[in-house]
C-alpha cells in the first residue's frame, strides 16, 4: 500500500508540473495573439509622426499622445458612420438569412433519408473547401446581372457562401435530437412550420448562437466579396472604408486607420465575450453525430 501511495503521489506531482508548464505555454501564446491588438490600440492614441518612426512599438508619451483626435478624424473625414451602418445592415441581414434557411435545410437533411437529401448535404460540405478565388470573377458578373450588387440584397450571396458551415453544424446537432419530441408535437396538432419554430429552433439554441457568432465575425470583417460586388462609389463597408486611408504614392494615414480599426473590432469582441460560452457548446453538440 505504501508503494502504491508513493506512486500516486509521484503521478499527481508530475500532473501538476505538466499542467503548470502547459499553463505557462498557453499564456505566452495568448500574449502573442493579444499583442497586435495592444499595438493597434496604443498607436491609435498617438500622433502620426510617432507611428512612422521607431516609436511605433512604444507606449504614448506626453509628446506623442493624441487622445481621441484620431477617432474624431477617422469618423468624420471618411464618413465612417455610413460605412458602419452598411456593415451592420449587411451583417445582420446575412446572418439572419443564413440561420433561417440553413436550419430549415439541415432539419430536412437530418429527417429525410433520401439520395437527394444526402446529395444536398455533401454539396453544402463541398462548398466549404472551394476557394473563393476560383469563383470570384464569375460571381462578380453574376451579381451584376442579377442586380445583387447593393447592400440590400448582397445577403443572398453571403447565404450561398455561409451555407456550408451552417448546414454542417445544424445537421450534426439535429441528428442527435430524439424524434419522440417531434412526434409528440405532431400528435398535439403542430404543423411542420409550427413544429420547426416552436420545438426544433428552441432546442438548437446553442448551435444557433455559435453559428451566428462565427458567421457574424466572417461577414463583418469580409473585405474581398463586398469590394467585388458592391459599387464602391455608392456603398462602402468598414473594411472597404479603412483602405481609403491609403493615399497617393503609397502614403498611409496610420493613426486614423488604427482608430477606425479599434472601433471596428469592438462590436465583434463584445459579441464574442457575451456569447462565448455558447460557441464551444454548439460546436461540441454539432460534432456528436455527422
Q: How far, in Å, CA of 191 to CA of 41, rounded?
A: 52
User: Per the structure, how many domains does the chain have?
Assistant: 2
> How confident is the model over 244-248, as a mean pLDDT?
68
Give the N- to C-terminal CA distance of the chain in Å, as an integer.
47
Give the number of other CB atoms < 10 A from CB of residue 230.
21
Within-domain flag for 51: no
Q: What is the pLDDT of residues 33-50, one digit of tens each?
A: 888 888 888 888 888 777
Same domain? 119 vs 245? yes
Same domain? 21 vs 82? no
pLDDT score recorded for residue 158: 93
Tell me, what DSSP letter sits at residue 200?
A: I
Same domain? 216 vs 260? yes
Within-domain flag for 159: yes
For residue 11, give the C-alpha cell: 503521478
Q: What is the pLDDT of residues 192-214, one digit of tens each?
A: 888 888 888 888 888 888 889 88
With a threshold of 0.75, does the pTM exceed it?
A: yes
Q: What is the pLDDT of residues 74-114, one digit of tens each?
A: 888 777 888 889 999 999 999 999 999 999 999 999 888 88
Same domain? 34 vs 172? no
Domain at 121, CATH number: 1.10.3720.10
Q: Are 39 and 57 in contact (CB under 8 A)?
A: yes
Place 282 in a pLDDT band, splitting at 50, 70 and 90.
Answer: low
Within-domain flag for 82: yes
Same domain? 19 vs 128? no
Place 285 in a pLDDT band, splitting at 50, 70 and 90.
Answer: low
Same domain? 180 vs 258? yes
Give the number of other CB atoms < 10 A from CB of residue 2.
6
Q: What is the mean pLDDT of the chain?
A: 83
Within-domain flag for 92: yes
pLDDT score recorded for residue 287: 46
Say yes or no to pLDDT of 219 above 70: yes
Same domain? 34 vs 144? no
Say yes or no to pLDDT of 215 above 80: yes
**CB-count burial class (<10 Å; 0-12, 13-18, 19+) for 4:** exposed
Q: Which of 261, 271, 199 is nearest to 36 (CA)?
A: 261
**Non-local CB neighbours of 252 within 8 Å, separated by 6+ positions:** 245, 246
Q: Which domain holds residue 202?
A: 78-286
What DSSP element (H or E) covers 144? helix 136-145
Within-domain flag for 8: yes
Place 269 in a pLDDT band, splitting at 50, 70 and 90.
Answer: confident
Same domain? 90 vs 171? yes
Amino acid at each position: 500500500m505504501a508503494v502504491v501511495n508513493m506512486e500516486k503521489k509521484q503521478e499527481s506531482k508530475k500532473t501538476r508540473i505538466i499542467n503548470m508548464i502547459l499553463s505557462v505555454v498557453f499564456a505566452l501564446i495568448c500574449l502573442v495573439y493579444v499583442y497586435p491588438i495592444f499595438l493597434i490600440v496604443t498607436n491609435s492614441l498617438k500622433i502620426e509622426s510617432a507611428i512612422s518612426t521607431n516609436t511605433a512599438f512604444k507606449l504614448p508619451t506626453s509628446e506623442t499622445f493624441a487622445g481621441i483626435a484620431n477617432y474624431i478624424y477617422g469618423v468624420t473625414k471618411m464618413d465612417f458612420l455610413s460605412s458602419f451602418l452598411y456593415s451592420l445592415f449587411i451583417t445582420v441581414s446575412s446572418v439572419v438569412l443564413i440561420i433561417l434557411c440553413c436550419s430549415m435545410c439541415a432539419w430536412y437533411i437530418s429527417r429525410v433519408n433520401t439520395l437527394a437529401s444526402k446529395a444536398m448535404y455533401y454539396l453544402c460540405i463541398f462548398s466549404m473547401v472551394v476557394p473563393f478565388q476560383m469563383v470570384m470573377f464569375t460571381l462578380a458578373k453574376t451579381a451584376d446581372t442579377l442586380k445583387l450588387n447593393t447592400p440590400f440584397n448582397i445577403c443572398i450571396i453571403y447565404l450561398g457562401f455561409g451555407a456550408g458551415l451552417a448546414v454542417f453544424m445544424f445537421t450534426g446537432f439535429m441528428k442527435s435530437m430524439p424524434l419522440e419530441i417531434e412526434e409528440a408535437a405532431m400528435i398535439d396538432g403542430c404543423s411542420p412550420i409550427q413544429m420547426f419554430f416552436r420545438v426544433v429552433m428552441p432546442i438548437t439554441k446553442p448551435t444557433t448562437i455559435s453559428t451566428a457568432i462565427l458567421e457574424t465575425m466572417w461577414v463583418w470583417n469580409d473585405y474581398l466579396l463586398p469590394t467585388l460586388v458592391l459599387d464602391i462609389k455608392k456603398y462602402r463597408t468598414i473594411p472597404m472604408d479603412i483602405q481609403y486611408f491609403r493615399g497617393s504614392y503609397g502614403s498611409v494615414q496610420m493613426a486614423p486607420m488604427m482608430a477606425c480599426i479599434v472601433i471596428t473590432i469592438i462590436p465583434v469582441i463584445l459579441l464574442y465575450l457575451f456569447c462565448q460560452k455558447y460557441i464551444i457548446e454548439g460546436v461540441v453538440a454539432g460534432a456528436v453525430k455527422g
